[in-house]
Structure 1
């Protein structure tokens, strides 16, 4: 029993101590915060045709779980977060987007923000498309032909057109968004003259006009229905074409004559070069044949020793020795000189 009593006393003391700590904590927490939180700011962050988005944002270092939106003094919307956040977004729709209304917001029990008026987006439809006609209206054009396009704006446009644009999409891609239309001409006049100079000028043509609105600035109208142009045949049998043909023929003749002269000059130079080469080859061949012949002749020649032996005779016997016929033993050559061709003779 005594042990149970001691345990009960201890639990009571712990409970009292815990309660005291909670009270002290709440006291100091309340003392650390101001009695009234600073006011947030309310701004418009987006505007669409049918809605307006507002942002209620607490000052730096502040936040809350609950944000409220008021229309004048009437609460119209509430955003509740699972954790403390600094901001919340509100969306106005329908009549609430009227800029005659005043709105403010609040987070937790803060002061109210300043009032603001929404600025809804102005919905303006695209100006209606014009009507495009072409002359001739058959849709077929010859190379060199000039076509006349007329871009007719609606009878009662919102504003008078400031400019007209003529567009052309390449042949073979009618209605295709892969090959966008290219600008052919832009003018303050609604009529355009286009000269067809190549088959690529065929395809579909369309036009549009530009107007300037007070709040939206410059706008393009919807494009007109396309007009298809098919390029066929060759250039037309006109005077200017005939003159161009005569000039072309003269140029062709002059060019042909010049080419012929150049060819003759090239052939002449080539023949002269070939002649010189053949002549030089013949001379070189004759020289080689003569050298070969002389080498053959020299290879058949023999060298003969014509060294004479010395004969010692006295002066007194000079007469007798002169008169005396040479003996066989003496090395006096008594035979005529032999030729190189037949040394045995």
Structure 2
């Protein structure tokens, strides 16, 4: 007979530091052997999950025994050094939850070895909510100390965000309203189950996949698709920073409108884009997540090395909407 698990406590979650070694997944190496930002963020998520498990509150136990879904509701990461296939990273998770906080906050640092030196490769801030399960029968029963971090719906307490009015008409009219007067690209997508977890809702990794797709769709719409610049110049996109915050829930098989808007081009080297995701409910648009990403371009020198390059006029015009980029 399996021994009963000890009672859960937030003491270790809020005080202890966790260190774990992780390797990026093979899937994330899309161009040469470099790892994309999405899979770097997956390492951050994995480190936080390990922290919960080592502190006696693994995600499975939280859900099966107490009806609590572990949800990352905010993720802000900075990539200081590129990750490569087969890198062995050391991840450090440090609790940063303050008195009165209603979400668990962590500082995550990823380190890698380069030429015999240990480099700080990534820094991130992660916020976690424990979502009381409402899909299956029976009320969620959070251990007493976990009640403070338990919510009935993701996005509770998030600052109110103005939502555009939904025009009368079809999908094209909604997309036109979302992009009117903005240097933006938008599309509608029906949320599929591989992007969801805990039976019903879109999870943070799903939003990361949407952010990656948003970039791909935007540059393609401007005539400078990923493959176009790879074939023409051996340029690849690089991401020094990304951030996403969940403001409400998005549910499996809902239609989600995603808007990718270029907000600033900085010194011909990087540009910042905003991503907003909306569900249509009761004739109004509800913001479910918002975030941003900083992009630049790098020239592939060989199978191992690359260096950043400034935007040329063709790329600047495409990013700013002055031309199709062709």
Does TM-score exceed 0.5, indicating one fold? no
Larger relative CO (CA 8 A, sep 6+): 1 or 2? Answer: 2
Whose Rg is larger?
Answer: 1
Q: Which has the higher strand share?
A: 2
TM-score of the superposed pair, with normalisation by structure 1: 0.18
TM-score by length of 2: 0.18
Greater helix share, 1 or 2?
1
